[in-house]
A and B are shown apart, each in its own frame.
Chain A
Amino acid sequence: MGSQRKKKEKKKDFVKPKLKVGKTKPKATSYTELGFRAKAIGIPEQSITKTHTSRETFDHHLSLARHHSHSARREALAYLQAHLPEEVDSSLFTSISPLILDPTPTVRAAVLSLVRAIPTSSLAPHVHLISLYIHSGMTHLAPDIRADSSKFLLFVLKAEDADIPMQLVTRSWEKTLHCFGSLLGWDLASPPPPGSSIPAGSGNWNKVGNATSIDRIANAAGHLDALSFFLRLGLSENLTPEMQAQREVPVYHADTSKHLIPRNATAPYARLGLFVEDKSRRWTAVSSTEDIGARYQLLKGMLPGILAGLDSGRRQGGEIGRKCKYLIDFLDKVKSETEKLQ
């Protein structure tokens, strides 16, 4: 019977094991082996004296550029500026260019000084990325970011390497003009009806920033500087010395340089619009304008709006008035020249 077998088994559990002479005591069933022998002692690899490579710290500070505390960001930028390597790669640009839109003024100032410190040769391939953020800054909702944007723009326009501003001019001419419109509060999309005249000192100038009046004037002056730089770059023929030389001594056709692929160009075929799906879209980043004629054609539509804005500025007088006057004169000159050509 099963039950008897079970009884036997139960009994067996409580039987006292007999100790025999000359034999070791049998081990209990619940016995656990406790003795162990260490063969080696492992020491975790840690050292407080370990030196990081400069690259590692640099990368670390790159990531700190996105830190939530603005002082940390600013310090990271200062570090980056102090330890700039000779060859700057794209990771630097991708992490610092969003800071152009940083809400803290000191951080923006730090970015500006950092960008200034970067050698222009390594800046050139990343102009497009930076200009996207500059455009965003120009249309930004926060007035102080908007005010600072023209500093970055001026920096790009004044860069030593002539290719850098030309990239901006050729690749995003129309868009930059639109952004100026929103920056200066001008309505460029719809020209004012011919009969109406904008009253002197219309609210537009006051909208440029909500800082004190002196600041406001300084901001507006900065914007106007950038605009005049931009327009001059785009609309007047600025020939490099070698082009000049070639024109004077025409080995080939005088205008050959226009038909060659521009030197140092990062996106030489961008004007063909091979990768733009819908060409009718207006706010595209790449609306390539290679020559002055094309640029003028684009400008022509916005010209009444720009002139109206400048006119109201001119009537304000002072520094702004002077700058506006200068720009009006320049635009008139361009207008007459191009119309003479046609």
Chain B
Amino acid sequence: MPKRRRAALLPSNIALLQNLIRRDPGSYKEEFLVQYRHYATQKEILATNPGGFHDAEAFIDQIGFIAQVCTCYPNETKEYPEDLADLLRKHHTVLPVELREKIVQSLVLLRNRGSIASERLIQIIFPLLTTTNSKTFRKDIYATLVRLLKHANRNTKAPKLNRTVQTLLFTLLESSDGAAAAPDGLWAAKLTRELWRRSIWDDPRTVEIMKQAALHGNTKVAIAGVSFFLGVDREREKAERKKRGLVDDDNSSDASSDDDEGDKPQVAGIKHRIGVNKKTGKRARKLEAAMRALKKKGKGAALPTQLNFSAIHLLHDPQGFAERLFGQTLSRGSGNKFTLEQRIQVLNLVSRLIGVHKLSVLGVYSYLLKYLTPKQRNVTQFMAATAQASHDLVPPDVLSPVIRKIADEFVSDGVAAEVAAAGLNTIREILTRNPLAIEADLLQDLTAYKGSKSKSVMMAARSLIGLYREVAPEMLSRKDRGKIASMEMSATAAAGQAKKLQYGVENIVEGIPGLELLEQWRKEQGLDKDDTEDAATKEAVDDDDAWNIDISDSEASEGGWIDVESDVEYNVSDDEGGIQDDHNTDTEDDGDDDDSDKEEDVEEKQPEAKRAKTEDAVQTLMATKILTPADFQKLEELRTKAGLDKILHGGKAAAAMQHEDTVDATSLLGPKTGKANKMERMAAVMEGREDRQFGSKKSKKDNQPHSTTNKEKARKKNFIMMIHKRDVQGKNKKSLRDKQKVLRAHIEKQKKSKGKH
């Protein structure tokens, strides 16, 4: 009897039916078909009047139900996904909100169950992103798309799906290239950016999409594209760190960032539940699983990061991109579509492209000339862009007018100290990248500011001097050169190999600088002979002595190791054979060159021969010896003695010449001197407070959402209910002796707790 009643209930009790169908699809087929037919007729009524459908709730339930059990009857429900897609496509503007949401949910469910392919789902819902005018729906679809792509790319990349979506985005950008359909392009840019930020997409195609966006006709889309290139790598790094749990919580509350948090295993919650609830095997297993998941996550944090190429590096044809970007947005013909801030952003990107890829977009420099005046709004940004846009392959005659302009406008007696400092700093930044862009006269004029009363100007001028001491001391006035640089200059002049900066000649490190000094020293000490004679025995006997640095005479290095600068490339003489050959051919080439201009330096033949000899000696040393840390220590000592040190540390300037980093506009103003004002002080205070949490541990614990504890319950219980309990009545009925005991115990306790404090 009860079974029959259940059967009678079935048509209306969808949840029960769903459960039964899951267990036994075959025998409940009839019931399912009743539902399905009803759905079909209801759908047609809906299609005639989608806005004012009379029975939306029941229909919503039915859609969900069919989507859930659809896999049990694949033949009967073949058309179901397409039906839903049709409804959504035709009527999404007028459908009731809940129904619309349910349809999207069901489609996602169908995809999860494998009834439709991911590509198809994206084809269905992607157009809605741009056609719907409901904000919430758009947000929903956007989140769905991101989640879908995230899941598809979770373990291995899904190239086919990615390509489909990327093609869709491409076409969206292309088709929206009129001003009217701007939001479409904006959505494409937003989606791409989000996927890049989460490292779901990291291929050149993605970058191409954003390139397309940056060149888009609409201002908003173009700026979205540009800001992608400028900021997205930092964003991505941040997201990555956040994922690893290095940064606790950021206040960047994105629409879809919350689905990451769902992954966190809630060990604390489970532990608490185990403490409170009855201990069962199931709960214990749950805790174990959570711990395992947590461990796994922690392991992931320790894994080395995968290769992460910056978006700018992944560009195809950066030259063309930079030229088009400059031509479309900045050059004179483009009109004033962009505001100043936007133009600065674009300029920033163009200059970064030029700096990173060493492009030659010569129009930029003359464009910048116009803006480089102290009165210009946001001039530091323009100055930073100028510095970023210069590199060693820019012809000096293109850059020198820029430098001249900055010098004229910024660095003169009539201007304020910070203006002069900014000008000098900018000039320095440009010259680090391209030292040839200035004439000696102008440089010497500028370095004369080293005696300025303003500290920032003085420091800026000094830094300029410091730079040229390393790069080209001959351009400085004699007294600015400094001891080391002068010594080096005279030494090289005596050797007849005074090297001059030349345009287009790259600074290549050929060996360990100052190695000949070491060789000479070894000869003087007579160490070489020992080595060659019984190297094997010696190494066997006092291996340690030869290898380690003698700590007694090296007071500088603490750990027995010398400081090795990470950004300087040391040529360690491990691979002797090949390098030696190379060097031999090199030296021969040099000889040929010198032969060709023999007429000039006949009298320099003597030093020439000498140089060849020392080089040979160096070669033999490099070929036969493995340099120990102790050797390097000695080498440095000798180098400082000989005034050669600047070559090694000159590496700093050399590194700066290939510098790809951004130039910070605020750093151009020089160090801030004087007292901080109130706002700055408050900012510093706030910064210090940012991650700290105040208050007691207990209050934090209590503020967390939790159910009532037993203690609380007991405390709040109605007294009338408790009055007849033994706990309460017993107190009255206690014997005098017992009461005394309790009182005594209480006093003792009080005393103890007082004694503690």
- B interface footprint on A266-286 (CB within 8 Å = 1, 0 otherwise): 000000000000000111010
- Interchain CB contact under 8 A, B11 and A179: no
What 1/0 mask marks residues of chain A from 161 to 184 whose CB sits below 8 Å from any chain B CB?
Answer: 000000000000000001100100
- The answer to whether B44 touches A139 (Cβ under 8 A) is no
Residue of B whose beta carbon sits closest to that of A277: B86
Size bracket of the A interface: 20 to 34
Are B41's CB and A132's CB within 8 A?
A: yes
Across the interface, A94 reaches (CB within 8 A) one of B37, B38, B49, namely: B49
Knowing A101-B55, A132-B48, A182-B33, the reply to whether A139 touches B8 (Cβ < 8 A) is no
A210 interface contact, C-beta 8 A: yes
Contacts of B52 in A (CB 8 A): 94
Are the CB atoms of A141 and B41 closer together than 8 Å?
no
Within 8 A of A (CB), among B6-47: 8, 11-12, 33-35, 37-38, 40-42, 44-45
Question: Do A141 and B35 touch across chains, with their CB atoms under 8 A apart?
Answer: yes
Mask of B101-125 contacts with A, CB within 8 angstroms, 1/0: 0000000000000000000000000
Contact B37 A98 (CB under 8 A): no
CB distance from A268 to the nearest CB of B (A): 19
Within the complex, what minimum Cβ distance (angstroms) separates B285 from chain A? 42
**Could you tell me if B54 and A182 are in contact, using CB atoms closer than 8 angstroms?**
no
B220: shortest Cβ distance to chain A, in Å?
35
Are B37 and A179 touching (Cβ within 8 A)? yes
Is A135 among interface residues, defined by CB-CB distance under 8 A?
yes
Select the residue from B41, B54, B55 with max chain A CB neighbours within 10 A.
B41
Interface string of B48-73 (1 = CB under 8 A from A): 11001011000000000000000000
Which of B8, B35, B48 counts the most chain A CB atoms within 10 A? B48
Which B residues touch A133, using CB under 8 A? 45
Residues of B contacting A179 in the complex (Cβ-Cβ under 8 angstroms):
37, 41
Q: Which of A136-153 contact B (CB under 8 A)?
A: 136, 138-142
CB within 8 A of A141: which of B11, B49, B54?
A: B11
Question: Which one of B33, B45, B52 has the highest number of Cβ atoms from chain A below 10 Å of its Cβ?
Answer: B45
Chain A residues 252 to 303 lying within 8 A of chain B, measured CB to CB, are 281-283, 285
Q: Could you tell me the distance in whole angstroms from the C-beta of B45 to the nearest C-beta in chain A?
A: 5
If the complex has contacts A141-B12, A142-B12, A182-B37, are A135 and B44 also in contact, measured as CB distance less than 8 A? Answer: yes
Q: Which of A75-111 contact B (CB under 8 A)?
A: 94, 98, 101
B34 surroundings in chain A (CB, below 8 A) = 139, 141, 182
CA distance A138 to B42 in the complex (A): 11
Q: Does B79 contact A (CB under 8 A)?
A: yes
Which one of A98, A210, A281 contacts B79 once the chains associate, using CB atoms below 8 Å?
Answer: A281
Q: Provided the pairs A101-B55, A182-B34, A281-B79 are in contact, do residues A139 and B40 lie with their beta carbons within 8 angstroms?
A: yes
CA of A285 to CA of B46, assembled, Å: 12
On chain B, the residues within 8 Å of A283 by CB distance are 40, 44, 79
Flag whether A200 is at the interface (Cβ < 8 A).
Answer: no
Residues of A contacting B: mostly: helix
A140 touches B38 (CB 8 A): yes
| With contact pairs A142-B12, A182-B34 given, residues A129 and B40 touching in the complex (Cβ less than 8 Å) | no
CB distance from B586 to the nearest CB of A (A): 75
Shortest Cβ distance from B124 into chain A, in angstroms? 15
Instruction: Assess the B44–A210 pair: CB atoms within 8 A.
Output: no
Residues of A contacting B37 in the complex (Cβ-Cβ under 8 angstroms): 139, 178-179, 182
Q: Which residue of A lies closest to B10 (CB)?
A: A141
B53 nearest in chain A by CB position: A98
Q: How far is the CB of B633 from chain A (nearest CB, A)?
A: 72
A256 to chain B, nearest CB (A): 34
> Are A132 and B45 closer than 8 Å at their CB atoms?
yes
A94 to B52, CA, bound (A): 10
Closest A residue, CB atoms, query B49:
A94
Q: Which residues of A contact B33 (CB under 8 A)?
A: 182
Complex Cα distance, B107 from A113, in Å, reads: 42
Instruction: Give complex CA distance A140, B79 in Å.
Output: 20
Q: Are A141 and B44 in contact (CB under 8 A)?
A: no
Q: Which residue of A lies closest to B41 (CB)?
A: A136
Given A141-B12, A281-B79, residue A136 in contact with residue B42 (CB < 8 A): yes
Q: Which of B12, B54, B55 has the most CB of A within 10 A?
A: B54
Residue of B nearest to A140 (CB): B38
Within 8 Å by CB of A135, from B12, B35, B41, lies: B41
* Binary CB contact string for chain A from 101 to 125 against chain B (1 if under 8 A, 0 otherwise): 1000000000000000000000000
Measured CB to CB, the closest approach of chain B to A103, in angstroms, equals 10
Closest partner residue, chain A, to B37 (CB atom): A139
Cross-chain contact B44 with A98 (CB below 8 angstroms): no
Q: How far is the CB of B385 from chain A (nearest CB, A)?
A: 48
A66 CA to B53 CA in the complex, in Å? 12
Q: What residues of A have a CB within 8 angstroms of the CB of B11 in the complex?
A: 141-142
CA distance A101 to B41 in the complex (A): 12
Closest to A185 in B: B30
Bound form: Cα–Cα A136–B53 in Å? 13
Q: Are B8 and A210 touching (Cβ within 8 A)?
A: yes
Within 8 A of A (CB), among B352-368: none
Q: Once the chains are docked, how many angstroms separate the CA of A66 from the CA of B40?
A: 23
Which residues of chain B come closer than 8 Å to A285, judged between CB atoms? 44
Question: A287 to B752, alpha carbons, bound, how many Å?
Answer: 93
Residues of chain A within 8 A (CB-CB) of B44 are 132, 135-136, 283, 285
Contact yes or no, A141 B40, CB < 8 A: no
The answer for the CA separation of A20 and B586 in the assembled complex, in Å, is: 114
Measured CB to CB, the nearest residue on chain B to A281 is B79
Residues of B within 8 A of A98 (CB): 45, 54-55
With both beta carbons as reference points, the residue of chain B lying nearest to A143 in the complex is identified as B11
* Interface 0/1 of B328-340, CB less than 8 Å to A: 0000000000000
Q: Which residue of the partner chain B has the closest CB to A138?
A: B41
Contact of A139 with B54 at beta-carbon distance under 8 Å, contacts A182-B33, A285-B44 already known: no
Closest beta carbon of chain B to A62's beta carbon, Å: 13
What is the CA–CA distance of A285 and B45 in the complex, to the nearest angstrom?
Answer: 10
Determine whether the beta carbon of A141 is less than 8 Å from that of B38: yes
**Which chain B residues lie closer than 8 Å to A94 at the CB level?**
49, 52
Q: Which B residue sits closest to A172, measured CB to CB?
A: B44
Point out the residues of chain A lying under 8 angstroms from B48, CB to CB.
129, 132
Q: Mark B563-575, 1 if CB is under 8 A from A, else 0.
A: 0000000000000
Shortest Cβ distance from residue A219 to the other chain B in the assembled complex, whole angstroms: 16
Given the complex of chains A and B, what is the CA–CA distance between A136 and B11 in angstroms?
A: 15
A132 proximity list for chain B (CB < 8 A):
41, 44-45, 48
Task: Specify the chain B residue showing the minimal Cβ separation from A207.
Answer: B30
Known: A98-B54, A142-B12, A182-B33. A136 touches B49 (CB 8 A): no
Nearest Cβ in chain B — how far from A76, in angstroms? Answer: 15
Q: How far is the CA of A179 from the CA of B35 in the complex (A)?
A: 12
Contacts of A66 in B (CB 8 A): 54
Nearest Cβ distance between residue A49 and chain B, in whole angstroms?
35
Provide the bound-state CA to CA distance between A281 and B78, in Å. Answer: 11
Q: With A141-B11, A182-B33, A182-B37 as given contacts, are A136 and B45 in contact (CB-CB < 8 Å)?
A: yes
Complex Cα distance, B12 from A241, in Å, reads 49
Q: Closest CB of chain B to A126's CB: distance in Å?
A: 11
- Nearest Cβ on chain B to A283's Cβ, whole angstroms: 5
* A282 nearest in chain B by CB position: B79
Q: In the complex, are the beta carbons of A139 and B41 less than 8 A apart?
A: yes
Contact with B along A55-72 (1 / 0, CB 8 A): 000000000001000000
> CA of A101 to CA of B38 in the docked complex: distance in angstroms?
12
Contacts of B35 in A (CB 8 A): 141
Contacts A94-B49, A132-B48 given; 19 further ones with Cβ under 8 A?
A66-B54, A98-B45, A98-B55, A101-B54, A101-B55, A132-B41, A132-B45, A133-B45, A135-B44, A136-B44, A138-B41, A140-B38, A141-B34, A141-B38, A179-B37, A182-B34, A281-B79, A283-B40, A283-B79
B interface residues (Cβ-Cβ under 8 A, vs A): 8, 11-12, 33-35, 37-38, 40-42, 44-45, 48-49, 52, 54-55, 79
Contact sample, A vs B, 6 pairs, CB 8 Å cutoff: A101-B54, A136-B41, A139-B40, A140-B38, A141-B35, A182-B37
Closest 3 pairs (CB-CB, A-B): A136-B41, A141-B11, A98-B54
Please report A residues at the B interface, Cβ cutoff 8 Å: 66, 94, 98, 101, 129, 132-133, 135-136, 138-142, 178-179, 182, 210, 281-283, 285
